[in-house]
């Protein structure tokens, strides 16, 4: 049984490792053997996804910085907390650096006899092809029909170095009039920042971060990286025995840090289908693609649109300069049952 993965992204390597753990041969086909990540990019992983990653892909505990609280503010609500998530002594999610996770996966895959990097793609050699490469010929030919949205915004990311805190375990999100600003701790003296800014092309992000920062005594801003913000949902998940995957299926606004989490949930679902097929003595072929689309497409679409709704909600409120809607949200989220539901969805996604 041979499986091919097109592209060498973080999702590609994570999926390859999960499949190899089932004793299935995997080739990654890419023009670029090793992907280079900016050292300032970070991802947040939900607790349930970390558990799956550790048990089914690779143990990543040494890379994690655990977050125990989340505080959400809205500029129209002044300095008062709008929403607070706290799961007691348990951590809500963890932050890790993209490049560190990639290096760990790459090094582990390189040691496996079931894995190869290749530059040339020959369709007939594989039972199943999983396409994670947005620039591949396969994408341009079969996976170009998307529901797209342009936010006309740009994400500005960096890592700030600040005075050491006794416990830097609280993530902060502020919905400013120009877009959401997130502070994501990665150590007691370093915090990742992501500002999704809607406005003029070259804002002074450092000045804006200083204006909204009420927590950290900042010593240094590292280099800022910028990229345009767009979202998309793929209309067709597969073509014959080729399955689209990762960011090809769904690209999200980064305000909730759910992009890679959705891909890990998709890996979890795909591996479950693999195990079922193997246990029943069935082939890994087009039927895998059909089953995967049936199980995930509706949930992915609804979840990605819920993120888009959250962005639109706070953007609208800040634009009309009122806090009436935020007051309603605050009252709702002060109810333990509602807060618990939101926390569960952020951790597990939509599970119906």
Q: pTM of this prediction?
A: 0.88
Strand segments, DSSP code E, in the chain are 2-6, 25-29, 42-46, 65-67, 69-74, 83-86, 93-97, 115-118, 128-131, 146-162, 170-176, 179-185, 190-197, 218-221, 225-234, 238-239, 242-244, 250-251
Mean pLDDT of the chain: 86
Quick one: how many helices (H) and strands (E) in the chain?
A: 9, 18
- Per DSSP bridges, beta strands 2-6 and 25-29 are parallel
pLDDT at 350 over 60: no
> Strand pairing of 179-185 and 190-197?
antiparallel
pLDDT at 345 over 60: no
Residues 6+ apart with CB under 8 A from 187: 65, 168
Calculate ∠ Cα 146-263-157, nearest 5°. Answer: 85
pLDDT value at residue 349 = 52
To the nearest whole percent, how much of the chain has pLDDT over 70? Answer: 82
User: The CATH number of the domain where 172 resides is what?
Assistant: 3.50.50.60
The position carrying tokens 């375990």 is 169
- Smallest CA-to-CA distance from 121 within 2, 188, 30, 20 is with 30
**Would you state the pLDDT for residue 82?**
64
Instruction: Report pLDDT for 352.
Output: 42
CB atoms within 10 A of CB 195: 27
**pLDDT tens, residue by residue, 226-237:** 988 888 999 999
DSSP 334: T
Tokens 């999704």 identify what position?
196
- CA 303 to chain centroid: 12
Average pLDDT over every residue of 227-256:
90
| CA distances from residue 296 to 183, 260, 269, 350 in whole angstroms, order as listed | 31, 15, 8, 10
DSSP 66-118: EE-EEEEEEGGGTTS-SEEEE-TTS-SEEEEEHHHHHHHHHHHHHT-TTEEEE
Identify the pLDDT of residue 39: 78
- pLDDT band (50, 70, 90) for residue 52: very high
Is the pLDDT at 164 greater than 80, yes or no?
Answer: yes
Is there a contact between 104 and 58 (Cβ–Cβ < 8 Å)? yes
Count of alpha carbons within 13 angstroms of residue 92, beta-carbon side: 26
Q: What is the residue range of 299's domain? A: 2-348
Give CA–CA dist 43/287, Å, rounded: 32
Q: Do residues 133 and 11 make contact, with C-beta atoms less than 8 angstroms apart?
A: no
**Is pLDDT at 117 greater than 60 in this prediction?**
yes
- The mean pLDDT of 201-213, rounded to a whole number, is 89
Which residue from 347, 349, 351, 348 is spatially nearest to 70, judged by alpha carbons? 347
Q: Given a cut of 80, is residue 36 above it in pLDDT?
A: no
- The alpha carbon of residue 111 and the mean position of all alpha carbons in its chain are separated, in whole angstroms, by 27
- Altogether, the residues listed in the chain come to a count of 352
- Alpha helices (H) along 192-285: 205-212, 259-279
pLDDT at 132 over 70: yes
Inform me whether the pLDDT recorded for 26 exceeds 90. Answer: yes
Within 10 angstroms of residue 324's Cβ, the number of other Cβ atoms is 9
Is 348 buried (19+), middle (13-18) or exposed (0-12) by CB count in 10 A?
middle
> Does pLDDT of 80 surpass 70?
no
Residue 40: predicted pLDDT: 81
| Cβ atoms 30, 117 nearer than 8 A | yes
For the stretch 266-309, pLDDT in tens is 999 999 999 999 999 999 999 999 999 999 999 989 888 888 77
Q: How many domains are there within the chain?
A: 1
């Amino acid at each position: 049984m041979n499986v091919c993965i097109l592209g060498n992204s973080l999702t590609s390597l994570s999926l390859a490792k999960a499949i190899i753990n089932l004793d299935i041969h995997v080739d990654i086909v890419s023009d670029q053997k090793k992907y280079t990540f900016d050292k300032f990019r970070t991802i947040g992983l939900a607790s349930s996804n970390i558990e799956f990653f550790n048990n089914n892909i690779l143990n990543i505990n040494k890379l994690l910085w655990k977050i125990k609280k989340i505080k959400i503010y809205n500029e129209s609500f002044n300095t008062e907390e709008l929403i607070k998530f706290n799961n007691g002594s348990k951590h809500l999610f963890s932050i890790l650096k993209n490049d560190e996770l990639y290096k760990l996966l790459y090094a582990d895959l390189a040691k496996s006899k079931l894995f190869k990097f290749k530059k040339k793609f020959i369709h007939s050699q594989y039972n199943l092809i999983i396409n994670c490469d947005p620039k591949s010929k396969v994408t341009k030919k079969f996976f170009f029909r998307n529901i797209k949205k342009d936010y006309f915004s740009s994400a500005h990311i960096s890592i700030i170095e600040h005075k050491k805190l006794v416990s830097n375990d609280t993530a902060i999100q502020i919905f400013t009039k120009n877009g959401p600003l997130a502070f994501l701790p990665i150590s007691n003296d370093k915090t990742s920042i992501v500002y999704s800014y809607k406005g003029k092309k070259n804002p002074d992000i450092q000045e804006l971060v200083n204006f909204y920062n009420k927590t950290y005594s900042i010593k240094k801003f590292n280099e800022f990286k910028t990229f345009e913000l767009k979202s998309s949902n793929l209309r067709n998940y597969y073509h014959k025995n080729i399955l689209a995957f990762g960011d090809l299926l769904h690209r999200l606004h980064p305000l909730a840090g759910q992009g890679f989490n959705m891909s890990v949930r998709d890996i979890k679902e795909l591996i479950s289908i693999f195990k079922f097929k193997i246990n029943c003595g069935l082939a890994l072929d087009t039927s895998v693609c059909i089953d995967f689309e049936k199980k995930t497409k509706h949930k992915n679409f609804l979840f990605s649109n819920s993120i888009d709704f959250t962005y639109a909600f706070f953007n609208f409120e800040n634009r009309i300069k009122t806090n009436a809607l935020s007051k309603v949200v605050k009252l709702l989220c002060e109810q333990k049952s509602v807060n618990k539901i939101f926390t569960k969805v952020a951790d597990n996604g939509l599970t119906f």
